[in-house]
Structure 1
Amino acid sequence: MAKMFNLKGPTFENMIMSFVKVVSEYNYERLVEDLTKKYNVELLNEKKKIFKHYPFALYATVVTFH
């Protein structure tokens, strides 16, 4: 893709990675940190929004699929 923009590969990679870093920090703040304030464990327990057999599964924060 770098050739499409008349850039060298490493320059293009650095530009894209800088953009991804800025966007990911914004998305993390907006989509993760804000929701942890809105949906905390105590509130979910009060509203009975938990899994029947493994209640803490609802609070997973890091999941890796293979």
Structure 2
Amino acid sequence: MKICRKIRNDIERIIIKDAKLGLNLQKITASFGVAEYFKETPDAFVEKADSALYKAKENGRNRVEIH
């Protein structure tokens, strides 16, 4: 969770520039879904992480959610 938050913050600091137009365009954001593995099937593990990712998007994007 801590690593995902750091990566998300680092991504958010990126500024895309258009040198030709001399403009700062838009910032990039990212959402992450984190799940802990508990001796389950790989499909169940991915499903938990995917569920957390959708929760992050539903709760406003640009965030980290844990299952």
TM-score range relative to shorter protein: 0.3 to 0.5
More helix by share: 1
What is the TM-score with the length of structure 2 in the denominator?
0.33
TM-score (norm 1): 0.33
- Select the structure that is richer in strand: 2
